[in-house]
Amino acid sequence: MLGHFSAIAQSVRIDGVRVLGPDFKEIATLREPDELRSLEELWAEMTLYEEDYRPKWTYKLDIDSEDIGGRWLYSSEGYITRLTMNIQKTYRVSDKEAFNRLLGL
């Protein structure tokens, strides 16, 4: 699927991530400095996805961060959005294989 992307290049600090599956069971927890640094690098390369496409949000990421903390919805297709009561922007990770591997998917 082709879509219109624009880079966000947002540098963030992530202190931890808990990855939950479709049944809300924990799949992985990221706390090691190397893991978090890799995740921060991938996050900085994320792009805003500007199409109407809504992926199947299979995973939940509980992110511990002053910058982007909270629950995020994630699709293994590489799409991510913040879970809130309002419609949020959808982003796409630059390297979904690396992102999925890091999350234990």
Mean pLDDT of 12-21: 94
Q: Which uninterrupted H or E stretch holds 102?
A: helix 96-102
Q: Residue 18: what pLDDT?
A: 97
pLDDT digits 0-9 by tens, 36-89? 999 999 998 898 888 777 889 999 999 999 988 999 999 999 999 999 888 788
| SS3 state of residue 84 | coil
What's the CA gap between 50 and 1, in Å, rounded?
Answer: 12
Q: Cα angle at 89 between 86 and 92, to 5 degrees?
A: 145
Q: Residue 54: what pLDDT?
A: 80
What's the CA gap between 44 and 58, in Å, rounded?
Answer: 22
Q: How far is CA 48 from CA 16, 41, 85, 96, in A?
A: 23, 16, 20, 14
Torsion, Cα 17 88 3 55, to 10 degrees, reads 60
The yes-or-no verdict on residue 1 having pLDDT over 50 is: no
Mean pLDDT of 4-26: 80
CB 4 within 8 A of CB 89: no
pLDDT band (50, 70, 90) for residue 6: very low
What's the CA gap between 17 and 69, in Å, rounded?
Answer: 9
